[in-house]
A and B are shown apart, each in its own frame.
Chain A
């Protein structure tokens, strides 16, 4: 279980303090899927980085399975059971995909295991396993490999920052199935940062972050109508309905 208590993050720019996240509290139960959504620039990715220890909070506490991990480094949090998939994964000159997956797993992976991981993110394993994870791969290919690195071993909680970004529709469907499978097994908690309706629909609970604050959090059934209702309420464009154009 992950517990986040009163998390805040300020940055100082040209001598002026600016608040990126303010007093964010929530929890994620074992096996639960929490989807974090909200407008661009609202603080979602910053929150994910604070959870993983990539950025350090100004105030607040983070507990994983009852243990205070607030002052732990990135690697200590990884060892404590956290996994993290970057929105824009880095590339590695000279590092084969096989080696990257092996490092991610923390043990030697068999060829079958590597292939299975790559297949699960929609990549033809034999084509990629010995390729370098460098600039010769497209953004979408690199993104899928990034997701495979997180799937390479068991975590208590996995954080995926916009896993759908840059992924084609076919691979996206495979990815959804993979998340559904993890969710169904209830062995790992998932935090997914996403704008994608299909991902949001999968959530047990949804948290909306806007202007660095928790705007709302609750059961998917409760938040979904608010979320998409808000969108249509604020939209003044004309939509197609029953073959006729009408005001939305």
Chain B
């Protein structure tokens, strides 16, 4: 599949593992699935009733990858896609998703990815989602993902979301349910600049006995950008959860961090931490004693903070 240069560049950024037309994959370009492949244990089926795909992952899949990137290189597109994952007991899989927009025009490009994960028992699923946008046009670049994750007994779900550059507006809705013994690890990284805005709402229901969740959110807001985080952990059983939101604020940006913890069981242990602050002067000074300029030191601090 030959892509134009802009689409190729965007794809490289969002699929850091390296997209290849090998194994299980599906590339969606400007609202159309342009290429796809199955592997022995992973089957991708186009939906009949609406745009999107169903991904069936067998319990035989061990240490396998699925790549399902979305690239939008035409200005003015509004793409809504529904992807449903059915992951059998015992599967061990990494799913590399994400959306990249290249918009050189004056019309808004928008992608709403609506994903649902149905995960059996004893599975290990890692979901990596990178969002990125670029282009010299005045048209907005908008991404509004909705993610629903149902984690089965004793399964582990690792969610890594990253939005570092270029997305003008994002509203992320995430809903997660954890069954008995299920473990959730979430790392959310976000950087906004200029007049961008980002809202992230996450609702984690710890339903099963001994379920656990660790949610880490790190963000940097520059320019006049606005960010709102609202992670919510609800303990409905004997469970552990830790929510940590750290943000660096710069220029005239604004950040609201609203971690919410809600216990509905006497053995629910839920902790939250939230901090917002400017770049630490002592860190800057320390790096400058290594010979870095103030700008270089600032870039290193942001890069490592979001690492």
Residues of A participating in the B interface, judged by any CB pair closer than 8 Å: 52, 54, 73-75, 78-79, 82-84, 86, 89-90, 92-95, 99, 103-104, 106, 149
Given contacts A94-B218, A94-B304, A99-B304, contact A86 B292 (CB under 8 A): no
Q: In B284-307, which residues have CB < 8 Å from any A CB?
A: 285-294, 300-301, 304-307
Listed from nearest, the 5 A-B pairs whose CB atoms lie closest are A90-B282, A78-B291, A74-B288, A95-B304, A94-B304
Measured CB to CB, the closest approach of chain A to B288, in angstroms, equals 4
CB-CB under 8 A from B294, the residues of chain A are 75
CB-CB under 8 A from B293, the residues of chain A are 75
| Best-surrounded residue of B218, B283, B294 (most CB of chain A within 10 A) | B283
Contact of A75 with B286 in the complex, beta carbons under 8 Å: no
Given contacts A78-B288, A86-B282, A94-B305, list 8 more A-B pairs with CB under 8 A. A74-B285, A78-B291, A79-B291, A86-B286, A89-B286, A92-B283, A93-B304, A104-B290
**How big is the B interface, by class?**
20 to 34
Tell me the total A-B contact number using a CB cutoff of 8 A: 53
B188 in the interface (beta carbon within 8 A): no
B246 in the interface (beta carbon within 8 A): yes
Contact of B280 with A90 in the complex, beta carbons under 8 Å: yes
Contact of A103 with B287 in the complex, beta carbons under 8 Å: yes
Measured CB to CB, the closest approach of chain B to A47, in angstroms, equals 16
| Best-surrounded residue of A74, A78, A149 (most CB of chain B within 10 A) | A74
Residues of B participating in the A interface, judged by any CB pair closer than 8 Å: 218, 246, 280, 282-283, 285-294, 300-301, 304-307
Measured CB to CB, the closest approach of chain B to A114, in angstroms, equals 15
Contact of A78 with B283 in the complex, beta carbons under 8 Å: no
In angstroms, Cα B283 to Cα A82, docked, is 18
Contact of A94 with B307 in the complex, beta carbons under 8 Å: yes
Contact of A54 with B304 in the complex, beta carbons under 8 Å: no
CB-CB under 8 A from A75, the residues of chain B are 288-294
Contact of A54 with B291 in the complex, beta carbons under 8 Å: no
Q: Mind listing 30 A-B residue pairs with CB under 8 Å?
A: A52-B289, A73-B288, A74-B288, A74-B289, A75-B290, A75-B292, A75-B293, A78-B290, A79-B291, A82-B289, A83-B289, A84-B289, A86-B282, A89-B286, A90-B280, A90-B282, A90-B285, A90-B286, A92-B301, A92-B305, A93-B218, A93-B246, A93-B305, A94-B304, A94-B305, A94-B306, A94-B307, A99-B304, A104-B290, A106-B290
In angstroms, Cα B5 to Cα A9, docked, is 58
In angstroms, Cα B290 to Cα A149, docked, is 9
In angstroms, Cα B292 to Cα A99, docked, is 14
CB-CB under 8 A from A84, the residues of chain B are 289
Measured CB to CB, the closest approach of chain A to B240, in angstroms, equals 19
Measured CB to CB, the closest approach of chain B to A16, in angstroms, equals 25
In angstroms, Cα B216 to Cα A93, docked, is 12
Measured CB to CB, the closest approach of chain B to A23, in angstroms, equals 26
Measured CB to CB, the closest approach of chain A to B289, in angstroms, equals 5
In angstroms, Cα B287 to Cα A103, docked, is 8
CB-CB under 8 A from B289, the residues of chain A are 52, 74-75, 78, 82-84
CB-CB under 8 A from A106, the residues of chain B are 290-291
Contact of B285 with A54 in the complex, beta carbons under 8 Å: yes
Q: Which residue of chain B is the closest to A80 with respect to CB atoms? A: B291
CB-CB under 8 A from B286, the residues of chain A are 86, 89-90
Contact of A103 with B301 in the complex, beta carbons under 8 Å: no
In angstroms, Cα B280 to Cα A90, docked, is 9
| Best-surrounded residue of B246, B286, B293, B304 (most CB of chain A within 10 A) | B286
CB-CB under 8 A from B304, the residues of chain A are 92-95, 99
CB-CB under 8 A from A54, the residues of chain B are 285
In angstroms, Cα B291 to Cα A54, docked, is 13
In angstroms, Cα B246 to Cα A95, docked, is 15
In angstroms, Cα B286 to Cα A54, docked, is 10
In angstroms, Cα B283 to Cα A108, docked, is 21
CB-CB under 8 A from B301, the residues of chain A are 92
In angstroms, Cα B290 to Cα A94, docked, is 18
Q: Which residue of chain A is the closest to B286 with respect to CB atoms? A: A90
CB-CB under 8 A from A103, the residues of chain B are 287, 290, 292, 300
Measured CB to CB, the closest approach of chain A to B211, in angstroms, equals 25
| Best-surrounded residue of B287, B291, B304, B305 (most CB of chain A within 10 A) | B291
In angstroms, Cα B31 to Cα A3, docked, is 69
Q: Which residue of chain B is the closest to A133 with respect to CB atoms? A: B304
